[in-house]
Amino acid sequence: MIPAELLTSPFAQISAIDPVPTFLRFVVALLLGMVVAAVYRHTRGDTAIAPSFPATLMLLCVLIAIVTQVIGDNAARAFSLVGALSIVRFRTVVRDTQDTAFVMFSVITGMAVGSHNLWVAVLGIIVVGSAALWSKLNIIPDAPPVYILVIRTLVSQKVELLAGGILDMHLVDRRLIAVGTPRKGGTMEYTYEARLKGEGNAVDLMTELHAVEGIQGAQLRRQDCEEF
């Protein structure tokens, strides 16, 4: 026979939870999550973003508040939740560091609400939201984006002799990072890291490169994006 104490004692240690304040905390977490999502949408502007990402930030804030409420001050429960949640795998790559910062923003906000530190969450949203809006004003200009430029020529041709003048005209600087022969030795492929003199020069650069006799193809894409 299993003693009844072994079945009842684990549950007897759990303190009673008042449902009304707990529900209100979750509602506050939802509202603050909506604020985080709104700040994200406003600061990202026309930048291509995943349609579900703002909603994910909002839900994440509520979920973290729930998890924090469940854990409370119980260290054993915290380790149990870590083990239970370790089965979740996040395979989506967050390409922009700002997106990573907003994920942390949502997590910390939910954690503050769940641990009964409402003012920490509110003041944090004010300060971090102001910082995000300030960064959108470009008071500190961003560094010019880095592009990957791939040029293919015949093996007998040298890319700098064919297009050195064009590259000097359209690029602030360039650095050769790879050379290869992708088509069984028929062509030579040169890969550069480069910075354009202006965003509008991308089309002109591609047009002029394709017009050069001896160049078999050219491709330009941002280092942090898919093909240009």
Q: Which residues contact 9 (CB under 8 A, 6 or more apart)?
A: none
Per-residue pLDDT reduced to its tens digit, 122-160: 999 999 988 888 877 765 566 677 888 898 888 878 888
**Distance in angstroms (rounded) separating the CA atoms of residues 54 and 214:** 48
Per-residue pLDDT reduced to its tens digit, 39-70: 988 887 656 667 788 888 899 889 888 888 87
Nearest 5°: the CA angle 123, 126, 140 is 130
Helical (H) or strand (E) element with 20: helix 19-44
pLDDT score of 10 more than 50: no
Which of the four pLDDT bands, split at 50, 70 and 90, describes residue 35? very high
In percent, how much of the chain has pLDDT > 90?
7
Q: State the sign of the Cα–Cα–Cα–Cα dihedral 188, 189, 194, 200.
A: positive
**Distance in angstroms (rounded) separating the CA atoms of residues 44 and 37:** 11
Tokens of 7: 């079945």
Which of the four pLDDT bands, split at 50, 70 and 90, describes residue 114? confident
Tokens of 69: 């409420």
- Total residue count of the chain as it appears in this document: 228
Q: Which residues contact 67 (CB under 8 A, 6 or more apart)?
A: 81, 110, 114
Q: For residue 196, what are the β-bridge partners?
A: 171
User: Per residue, what are the HEC states of 62-119?
Assistant: HHHHHHHHHHCCCHHHHHHHHHHHCCCCCCCCCCCHHHHHHHHHHHHHHHHHHCCCHH
DSSP 164: H
Mean pLDDT of 203-219: 85
pLDDT score of 21 more than 90: no
Query: For the chain, which domains are there?
Result: 17-136 (no CATH), 147-222 (3.30.70.1150)
